[in-house]
Amino acid sequence: MQNLLYFFASIIFYCSVRSQDHRQYRQVHDASGRLQPPPPFNESYQMIVLTGGKVYGTPVEANTATEDLCMPHRKDVVMAGGRILSMMEPSKTAAFINSIRDSQLTILPISVQDQIIIPGLVDVHVHAIGGGGEQGPYSRTPESHLSQLIRGGLTTIVGILGTDGVTRSLSSLLQKMKSLEHDGLSTWMWTGSYRIPIVTLTGSLQQDVLLIDKVLGAGELALSDHRSSWPSKSELKQLLSDVRVAGMLSGKSGVIHFHMGSAPTKIDLLWQILNETTIPIQHMYLTHMSSRGDDLIAEARKWIKAGGMCDFTADAEMLNETDTINTLNKFRAEKLPLKQITVSSDAYGSFPQYDSSGRLISYSMGLPDLTLRTIQNLVLKHSWPVEEAIQFSTANPATYLNLKRKGFLAEGYDADILVLNQTDLSPLYVFGRGQILKTPTWIKHDMFEHISGSP
């Protein structure tokens, strides 16, 4: 306990400076849609402790019994300096909080009795500066809003362009990612767009991945889609070779995020490349694999069995879609390795619907809460254990994309935390790197005890 206090004391200066900087920034931007938490959350704290919750999403130990994998952990979560500093036994928490009283630390205990605590959600496919445009300039979708991202439980996002790599720029996307990071989210991005030759920030795919911290790889590069530039096999080989080497040199995953359409060619080119080269399948990350018809779902099954990674686009309830939920249920029943599947929202991307002749007949937009809704549907409607349902937007994308300190709740990990109502799995609190990003609207100030060791 004493060693832990010494460590906490060493981060007081860091926490104080960070909180002051963040508070000054928010005074300028409060009118922009930023969620402004009520007292006592608009004060600065060096430490926050979540008590009484049921914790899911802890790293699985090798010797964990099968029947224990989906059981929640009764731990109190201590966060400070942007990290999870302790997963504390509840019997020790009161004594720990009392021991802080004489220190210079300010601590906010929050009781979340019997509510569900999970890692903040990771969304690998967000059109953060907007997308769309397939129906002309007026059909461009709007830029993302921080408050909407937070309400969807997202604490980590990967920004993306899409169809329009001409009037939507990577430099604008990069600036948006930096802005959202400043406001408490963790952000990365894909370089490129639908087309080949790909657009880049530096003039080179390898340089983008190697020299720009936020760039994980290229995407979303369209294949088998009427909006694709129909790259050749040799062009894809070169891109995959470049991104693999850049990933090795930078310590990143180095992948290409492929947008899959519903053309009969499906993923034929990628199978050919796998058969003809030694490029590992892990560098090919396929998205929209559950929502383009039964033929592509069959390809997804083969891809996963071969060791590949698939991203499913969350069902849009306003379109009465159920493809992703149905596919997840089917693949689970078949005992496919679910760790090789992620679910993303396609937030702010357009959802155009075409008739058999290729004419656009309807137009809608992805919303950032669709990944959370997938979790809610799996647990509440299809009786999935919480631990299994959350993996597609927590552990799986974080592990695959090598997002360090993301996707799990454990000591040393970033304090990206989502507290869900145990009844309907609606978000109560969202923490991004230890910052309070969202609190319940029904909150009562007397539910919290603000403890300060300051005179």
Catalytic residue list: 346
**DSSP assignment of 283-330, as one string?**
GEEEESTTSS-HHHHHHHHHHHHTT-EEEEEPP-GGGT--HHHHHHHH
Token representation of residue 189: 């991005």
Q: Residues in the chain, how many?
A: 455
Which residue's structure tokens are 């990365």? 188
Candidates 353, 356, 438; CA nearest to 149 is: 438
- Report d(CA 76, CA 98) in Å as an integer: 15
* Chain-centroid distance, C-alpha 260: 20
Cα angle vertex 260, ends 258, 266, to 5°? Answer: 115
Output the six-digit token pair for 154: 């997202």
Contact 51, 114 (CB under 8 A): no
Strands 116-119 and 350-354: unpaired
Q: How far apart are CA 304 and CA 299, in angstroms?
A: 9
Chain-centre distance for alpha carbon 416: 10
Give the residue among 244, 240, 169, 246 at the shortest CA–CA distance from 213: 246
Radius of gyration of the chain measured on its C-alpha atoms: 22
Contact 422, 115 (CB under 8 A): yes
